[in-house]
Structure 1
Amino acid sequence: MAEGAEQKHEKKPVNWRQFYELVRQTKPPVWIMVIAITLSIVETAIGLVIPLFTQQIVDGMASGAVNSSFLLLFLGLFVLQAVGTGVSLYLLTYIGEHIVRGLRTRLWQKIIRLPIPYFDGQETGETVSRITNDTSIIKGLITRHLVSAVTGVLSMGGAVIILLYLDWQMTLVMLTAVPIMLFIILPIGRRMYRISKRLQTEMASFTAVLSTVLSEIRLVKTYNAEEHESTRGGSRIQELFRYGLKEARLMAILNPLISLAMMVMLVFIIGYGGVRVASGALTAGELVAFILYLFLIIVPVSQFSSFFAELQKAMGATERLQELLHEPGEGQQGKQGKPGVKAHVTFKDVVFSYKPEEKVLKGVSFTIPTNQVTAIVGPSGAGKTTLFSLIERFYELDAGTILYGDTAIHELDLHEWRRKIGYVSQDSPLMSGTIRDNLSYGLGFTPSDEELLVSAATAYAKDFIEELPQGLDTAVGERGIRLSGGQKQRIAIARAVLRDPEILMLDEATASLDSESEQHVQKALQTLMQGRTTLVIAHRLSTVMNANAIIVMENGKETGIGTHEELYRSHELYKKLADHQMKLSAG
């Protein structure tokens, strides 16, 4: 399995243009970047001058003539270098944080505008990993490695030029180590890219397991699935461990090899330089300067191994972020409807499938009249809830069209279209926060307490809200866990009242409630349905028998449309469903 997984992540060219574009689009503060880079260059330049000053001091001490002003200037350079290092480090961190903020903002704005099919096929943890882990990797490259790599190159280049001036023979001997270094670094770097990319994928998988288990921890406990989830999480942790060790093995090879090459070079230079000092070809100060310049080369080279590893990770992260940013979003713009004008909704030969080989709807045609109640009944899997999803424009049709009046709904502005719709489901979701937050969720304006309580009264929710210790400011907990099923449903209905939708969709809104809660919710729904185009999915006969029209769905097709009495007389499946409900009610 591991080998197959690695095959998927074969080496791809490091795309600097992609990385540059990703960073540029966050609009980093250019003037701060210029100051930070300038300070880094000044710091590097001071680092290149210090060995020359050291040479003068050593030679002066050897001859007994040390200038105190020269020493003060020497110390001043150290202080200036330290200040420049501190300021540039802060500015680079600021730039990195600015870039990661911009990236996360872009990703968040993109994610919440992605269509439902993306989320159907993507685990939540995978998406979370991209917006947290991958952006942090890019920030780390910028703040800790990128500028230091640039200044390291400048430092090495300047040091080599000065060394050639000091002693070109020793310098040429020293430079023979460069191709050896490249021979070590490049193949290991290519391997590091593949492992780093796989490590990021495994981290995303682990995050996905965490998100799933923690969000459904009650299900885990109820079904004694702790051992199963422990094993599942443990396997992901084991994979992270395995790839972490692979990365560590490469670093364990790379770092010692570079250190060994540097040490051999240093020993050679000290030995060979001592001979040249003894022969008079070099002064003691020049040898000290030569060794200091050698360190200006050794330190950046030793850092290149970690820079190269971080670079490979950042390129992998860039690739994953670009994949997400290039996902097609929902089409937002379209025709604006006429204000205050209501129209009927018509399904015309609608064909739809979640998977190409499995048709869920097979040429469905019917009309939902304005200001009337239309119910949809049928066995599980007949396509009832899918109809609601298509009205909401969560998915694209395979064929056919859905009309609002004479206009196809996909031609309408998406935001305006969804503003017309209120949706109350069997398990109406609540966001973590207060009752006030949930009542006003997505309204686009801040309602007053009076408006909130009026909507709550309409939904038969005012009494229980006022009995709570903090009233409207009571926290509902994650997914509304601190409220009962009936309370959550009434909050959802009150939210729909505040939204004042033209089209109301009720999907088994009372199916999971006890009889007392159902009575309250039914009253609230009856109030909410008045003067609206209402579409109801329900199994309970009492919910649908008073509807203006009932649509019977079977195997992805509508097989009957009429009132309760008409269908009971003429439609075999409907009569069977109705009789079954009557038996349950009698029992």
Structure 2
Amino acid sequence: MSAHEQNSPSVSGASEISAWQIYRRLLGYAKHLWPVFLVCFIGFAIYGAGQALSAKWLEMVVDTVQKGAYDQRYFLASAVLGIFVLRGVGAFIGNYSIAYVGREVIHRLRTQVFEQLLLLPSQYYSHHSSGELLAKLTYNVEQVTESVTNAIKVLFREGLTVVGLLGYMFYLNWKLTLIFVAAGPLIGLVVSMAARRMRKLSKRIQESVGDITEAASESIKGYQVVRIFGGTEAEKQRFETASIKNKQQFMKLVVTKSLNTPIIQMLVALALSMLLFLAMHPDVMGTMSTGGFVAFLTAAGMITKPLRLLTDVTSIVQKGIAAAESLFEVLDATVEEDTGARVLDEVGEIEFRHLGFAYPGTDKQVLQDICLRLPPGKTVALVGRSGSGKTTLASLLPRFNDGWSGDLLINGEPLESFTLESLRSNISLVNQNVVLFNGTIAENIAYGSMAGASETAILAAAEAAHVMEFVERLPDGLHTRVGENGVLLSGGQRQRIAIARAILNDAPILILDEATSALDTTSERHIQEALEGVMRGRTTLVIAHRLSTIEKADIIVVMDNGRIVEQGSHSELLEQQGAYAQFHILQTDTDPS
């Protein structure tokens, strides 16, 4: 079963989960911050009370002017200042508190998603592009930010303002207020219909952002290939197509939002016009004063703005829910299985016993009936055409791929019985696709668990891997920064650093997958000498095409179509006059050295 297929139940299940359930799970990240939420609520309650007091102040002004009680002007002048100070303090407390909650939620969510990505199996990355995953960590997380911060801020601030104004309107005249509230169900229906539409469109927008990120990321990383092979126009077209799709989905969302707001405002305006018409009836007016009547209409008019903002919350929340759904899909994905309970302290014999393997989601057997023993401290070279299964076989040792049939044993024990951490701590890897991080040369050599290595140990590893031959010419020596993925270095220099990393790691198992492929003949001879020293006394699995790397191996394994067709020493295989002998003749004829 592929990673995509494994995760598909959760994806389809997520689509059936209600928006409220997703949002509730999202808010669960803020549960421990309930005191800050409380402070936020109090702040916006003060702000809402200030709005209601503004209407009350207007009532007092009108009644004072009507009665000619001008001696009240000192109180009224002071009151308006007090109301604005109250609103300002409340708004500050509420805004700061909700912003703190929002950033805390985003920090926790973003770090959890990133930590989850570090634990997901390799097949997950096979079915999800780096652009898509980066979009989740950047764009989607920011959409979640808005749903947690802006949405709740508007919900609290404008919601409490509406509550305050409605409360004051009920206090003035409950009959008129009920007429105004009658428009509520219609408003709710419009908001509900728009919400479903906006959630669907938001999800499409997030997917299109992933396409944009993917197109840009691949073009930027492969700019040399793009230019050499005339791919500029094709990449422009691909990026433009992704951008147009994003624009179209975004404009559909704008149309939905733009229609939603005026419809809501029209419903509110209808309620206001009916209110004004009926308010003139003596039975409805009752004993209301002129000031009260003016204040009532003012309060009803003031409600229109917070109501409009509250309807805008729907689009923010729906975008956040769609984004949260995509993030929860990552968080709910199955991580690497680490069922092992034993610690691998010492590496003895490694054995592949009738082992078969097919990549998840495919039926083709990449490896078939592999029977191979790797004696401790010996070097085993894998030889064969591209696609014969060499790299796949090597990838099973550190358990980058699981799900094989047959047995893979270390010290006579199943590989999966050991913890992943202890297994991988006993393995060093150097492959042709060298990965360097945007730090210094020394930091890349002493990477991960070796970060505490001394300068002397790093220097020794660098010298053993012939890194110092080019480092001595650099202005900052070992502390020279290498750029993103070592872009400031040549391929051979990057590979030497990777070999130095393996030397410093000093693990009992060494996997070399075309480790000298990027080196020229002279550099390779130097590195070969260094590797021979590193390989001595270690169980080494070598994948190579060059005879200089292969001939000195203790065991040479020839693979074809996922099967082992020959194995033995260099001399033994030459005597057999089989596939290896043909390969040797071909290499001898084409080797420039």
Cα offset, 1:335, TM superposition: 3.1
1:26 touches 1:102 (CA, 8 Å); kept in 2?
Answer: no
- Aligned with 2:42 (options 38, 42, 46): 38
The answer for the alignment partner of 1:506 in structure 2 is 512
User: TM-score w.r.t. structure 1 length?
Assistant: 0.93
* Deviation by residue 1:54-95 (Cα, 9 ceiling, x = unmatched): 212210121011422354234212211111102211121111
1:430-579, aligned counterparts within 5 Å?
A: 430-570=436-576, 572-579=578-585
Work out the CA distance in 1 between the residues paired with 2:405 and 2:570. 30
1:20 aligns with 2:24: yes
- With over 3 angstroms needed to count, the CA separation of the structure-2 counterparts of 1:258 and 1:232, relative to structure 1, is same
Cα offset, 1:582, TM superposition: 1.4
The answer for the alignment partner of 1:231 in structure 2 is 237
The answer for the alignment partner of 1:347 in structure 2 is 352
Classify the secondary structure of the residue corresponding to 1:370: coil
Work out the CA distance in 1 between the residues paired with 2:547 and 2:285. 109
1:295-314, aligned counterparts within 5 Å?
A: 295-314=301-320
- Aligned with 1:91 (options 89, 97, 103): 97
Cα offset, 1:338, TM superposition: 5.5
- With over 3 angstroms needed to count, the CA separation of the structure-2 counterparts of 1:563 and 1:27, relative to structure 1, is farther
2:48 touches 2:164 (CA, 8 Å); kept in 1?
Answer: no
1:9 touches 1:194 (CA, 8 Å); kept in 2?
Answer: no
- With over 3 angstroms needed to count, the CA separation of the structure-2 counterparts of 1:319 and 1:550, relative to structure 1, is same
Cα offset, 1:185, TM superposition: 2.3
Work out the CA distance in 2 between the residues paired with 1:498 and 1:52. 76
- Aligned with 1:190 (options 191, 196, 208): 196
Q: Identical aligned pairs, as a percentage? A: 30
2:352 touches 2:372 (CA, 8 Å); kept in 1?
Answer: yes
- The amino acid of 1:54's aligned partner reads L
User: TM-score w.r.t. structure 2 length?
Assistant: 0.92
- With over 3 angstroms needed to count, the CA separation of the structure-2 counterparts of 1:14 and 1:77, relative to structure 1, is same
Classify the secondary structure of the residue corresponding to 2:566: strand
Cα offset, 1:497, TM superposition: 1.0
The answer for the alignment partner of 2:427 in structure 1 is 421
- The amino acid of 1:50's aligned partner reads S
1:58 aligns with 2:62: yes
- Aligned with 1:282 (options 288, 297, 320): 288
The answer for the alignment partner of 1:136 in structure 2 is 142
2:466 touches 2:527 (CA, 8 Å); kept in 1?
Answer: yes
1:11 touches 1:193 (CA, 8 Å); kept in 2?
Answer: no
- With over 3 angstroms needed to count, the CA separation of the structure-2 counterparts of 1:279 and 1:453, relative to structure 1, is closer
- With over 3 angstroms needed to count, the CA separation of the structure-2 counterparts of 1:88 and 1:151, relative to structure 1, is closer
1:174-213, aligned counterparts within 5 Å?
A: 174-213=180-219
1:76 aligns with 2:90: no
- The amino acid of 1:61's aligned partner reads V
* Deviation by residue 1:448-478 (Cα, 9 ceiling, x = unmatched): 2211111111112223212211101111122
1:37 touches 1:147 (CA, 8 Å); kept in 2?
Answer: no
Work out the CA distance in 1 between the residues paired with 2:112 and 2:185. 42
Stretch deviating more after TM superposition (468-477 or 9-18): 9-18
Stretch deviating more after TM superposition (491-500 or 64-73): 64-73
The answer for the alignment partner of 1:360 in structure 2 is 366
- Aligned with 1:337 (options 333, 343, 352): 343
2:445 touches 2:497 (CA, 8 Å); kept in 1?
Answer: yes
Unpaired runs of at least 5, structure 1: 1-7
- With over 3 angstroms needed to count, the CA separation of the structure-2 counterparts of 1:18 and 1:563, relative to structure 1, is same
* Deviation by residue 1:82-126 (Cα, 9 ceiling, x = unmatched): 111022111211111111111111111111111111111110111
Work out the CA distance in 1 between the residues paired with 2:54 and 2:550. 88
Stretch deviating more after TM superposition (371-380 or 60-69): 60-69
Classify the secondary structure of the residue corresponding to 1:346: strand
Q: CA RMSD in A?
A: 2.3
Classify the secondary structure of the residue corresponding to 1:112: helix
- With over 3 angstroms needed to count, the CA separation of the structure-2 counterparts of 1:274 and 1:9, relative to structure 1, is farther
2:176 touches 2:284 (CA, 8 Å); kept in 1?
Answer: no
Unpaired runs of at least 5, structure 2: 1-11
Work out the CA distance in 2 between the residues paired with 1:272 and 1:182. 24
Stretch deviating more after TM superposition (184-193 or 8-17): 8-17
1:109 aligns with 2:107: no
- With over 3 angstroms needed to count, the CA separation of the structure-2 counterparts of 1:398 and 1:478, relative to structure 1, is same
Stretch deviating more after TM superposition (322-331 or 509-518): 509-518
Cα offset, 1:45, TM superposition: 2.4
- The amino acid of 2:495's aligned partner reads Q
Cα offset, 1:12, TM superposition: 4.7
- With over 3 angstroms needed to count, the CA separation of the structure-2 counterparts of 1:14 and 1:313, relative to structure 1, is farther
* Deviation by residue 1:9-54 (Cα, 9 ceiling, x = unmatched): 9975533233333332466533222211111122222322332232
